[in-house]
């Protein structure tokens, strides 16, 4: 039987350079999408999926993340005394996420690359499988993405990557899986990933979009990379997954739902706009605004 997944890691040590100057003083993970910071969407997804141990790997300048999730009973009490019960409930609920997800924070140490925060978190996970989700992704789905990945892992007892269909011309933006076999429900057996291939060289029409079930074997491959590291280059999950897939089974799960990436200005604005349109209070007004606004009256940068 597969080992139950209780743990997750959220790598949140990046600089957010593609979103400067927004991220000069504010961590990119704290930029709002809808009525909450983007990282809260990820934490809520994990808690809703039954994860009870969440490690957020951070770097300097990320203290706002800890502040956001830290319970603040004094503020809650003040809001209730002022008759602002709805605000009090909202603040209290965010603090509860820290308890329900047992959130801990870990400073990133080691070489750059997205494999390093996973290795950092693995020191506390023993030989357990764990989820890895990025803090700048937002999924809107009837069944949370994390639950879909866990279900695929339970069915295969193997590492699992989150996949989405892509347009052929987009292949140079993603890791593209080499598909060996397709099963019902969007489950794919894959033999590796090709990073950002040209459209004519893409091995499939799927994209790896960030979201993994990582098993101890993948951690061992990351340690192998670190052992060979000489101070140049970076440690990447893709390399560990490809090394593992050379001799053992790896799967991809095509995620059912809508994915929003917030890692660049256009993607962030798209996610923010979609969240606002979906809001029952704001959506109707914004639709009217988009229809009636004269471009000459629009706000412009500078």
Instruction: Give the DSSP letter of residue 131.
Output: E
- Averaged over successive runs of 10 residues, the pLDDT of the chain (302 residues) comes to 90 86 89 92 95 91 91 96 96 94 86 79 79 91 94 96 92 92 94 92 92 92 72 76 92 93 89 88 88 69 46
d(CA 159, CA 150): 10
Q: Tell me how far the alpha carbon of residue 113 is from its chain's centroid.
A: 15
Query: Distance (Å, rounded) from C-alpha 9 to C-alpha 27?
Result: 17
- pLDDT of amino acid 163: 96
**Angle value at C-alpha 143, between 99 and 55, nearest 5 degrees:** 30
- For residue 168, give the 3-state DSSP assignment: helix
Over the stretch 57-95, which tens digit does the pLDDT of each residue have?
988 778 999 999 999 999 999 999 999 999 999 999 999
Contact criterion met (CB below 8 Å) for 119 and 223: yes
Identify the pLDDT of residue 299: 58
Q: 3-class SS at 218?
A: helix
- The rounded distance, in Å, linking the Cα atoms of 112 and 220 is 18
Question: What is the 3-class SS of 93-112, one letter each residue?
Answer: HHHHHHHHCCEEEEECCCCC
Spell out the domains of the chain, with CATH numbers in brackets.
Answer: 7-284 (3.90.550.10)
Residues β-bridged to residue 258: 140
């Amino acid at each position: 039987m597969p080992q139950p997944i209780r743990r997750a890691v959220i790598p949140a040590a990046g600089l957010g350079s593609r979103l400067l100057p927004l991220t000069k003083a504010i961590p990119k993970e704290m930029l709002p999408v809808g009525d909450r910071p983007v990282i809260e969407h990820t934490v809520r997804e994990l808690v809703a999926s039954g994860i009870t141990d969440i490690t957020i790997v951070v770097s300097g300048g990320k203290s706002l993340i800890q502040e956001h999730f830290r319970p603040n009973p004094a503020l809650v009490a003040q809001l209730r005394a002022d008759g602002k019960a709805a605000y009090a409930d909202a603040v209290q609920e965010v603090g509860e996420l820290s308890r329900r997800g047992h959130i801990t924070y870990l400073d990133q140490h080691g070489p750059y690359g997205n494999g390093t925060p996973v290795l950092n978190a693995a020191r506390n996970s023993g030989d357990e499988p764990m989820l890895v989700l990025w803090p700048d992704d937002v999924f809107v789905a009837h069944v949370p993405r994390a639950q879909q990945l866990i279900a695929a892992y339970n069915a295969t007892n193997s590492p699992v990557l989150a996949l989405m269909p892509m347009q052929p011309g987009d292949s140079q933006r993603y890791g593209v899986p080499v598909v060996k076999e397709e099963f019902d429900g969007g489950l794919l057996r894959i033999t590796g990933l090709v990073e950002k291939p040209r459209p004519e060289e893409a091995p499939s029409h799927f994209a790896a979009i960030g979201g993994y079930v990582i098993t101890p074997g993948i951690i061992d491959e990351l340690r192998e990379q670190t052992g060979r590291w000489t101070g140049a280059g970076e440690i990447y999950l893709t390399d560990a997954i490809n090394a593992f897939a050379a001799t053992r089974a790896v799967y991809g799960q095509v995620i059912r739902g809508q994915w929003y990436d917030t890692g660049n200005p256009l993607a962030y604005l798209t996610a923010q706009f979609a969240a606002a349109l979906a809001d029952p209070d704001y959506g109707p007004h914004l639709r009217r605004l988009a229809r009636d606004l004269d471009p000459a009256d629009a706000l412009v940068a500078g």
